[in-house]
Amino acid sequence: MITLTGFPKNKDKYLRLALFAREILDICNDLGITPVLDGSLAVFAYTRDQDMDVNDIDLSCPEAEFPKIINALQARGISYKLREWRVLQISKDDLKIELGSREYWLKDLPMDLETLQLDGCIIHALSLNSLKEFYRRGMADRAAMNTDNDRTKYERLKAKYEALAKLERKPT
């Protein structure tokens, strides 16, 4: 189990984001859905790089579960948008949690998982090797695109990939 300690550079936002994540994870738990952490929070959990920002939380779950989650969000008055890129964006004020389609975004990815403890909440996260492969694939996809936005995203993916690649073993 990885116990998340320390804070990213944007501690205040991160603490609010962690509380919001707990609310969304409780909804998923009530519905019998087990999301997998697969974005910058997972990178932070492994690298413990306090110079990075965690601006949102990226999770994945089966896309077939989106309608159940949407119904639960509506019942609680929580804002969301179902995006054409197969992501359910859940928001509250300046906070965002994205639930990506596991079948689409993690297709053919080795699904080795770790358990992460975040603020008393247990989350399944991609293992270090699976997360590295996830970011390697993301870089490869963005490298073929030519807009300024794509180049910026590529550089962010690359920085996270390189930080993960430096790790020889997972933290305890």
Q: Is residue 7 part of a domain?
A: yes
Q: Is residue 169 part of a domain?
A: no
d(CA 7, CA 29) in angstroms, rounded, equals 25
CA 76 to chain centroid: 22
| Residues of the chain predicted below pLDDT 70 | 168-172
Task: State the pLDDT at residue 172.
Answer: 46
- Encode pLDDT of 29-60 as tens digits: 999 999 999 999 999 999 999 999 999 999 99
Q: Is residue 44 part of a domain?
A: yes
Task: State the pLDDT at residue 168.
Answer: 64
CATH, residue 41: 3.30.460.40
Tally of structural domains, the chain: 1
Question: Which residue range(s) make up the domain with 7?
Answer: 2-127
Helix ranges, the chain (H): 11-30, 40-47, 66-76, 102-105, 128-143, 148-165
Task: State the pLDDT at residue 148.
Answer: 80
Q: Is residue 162 part of a domain?
A: no
pTM tops 0.85, yes or no: yes
Q: Is residue 81 part of a domain?
A: yes
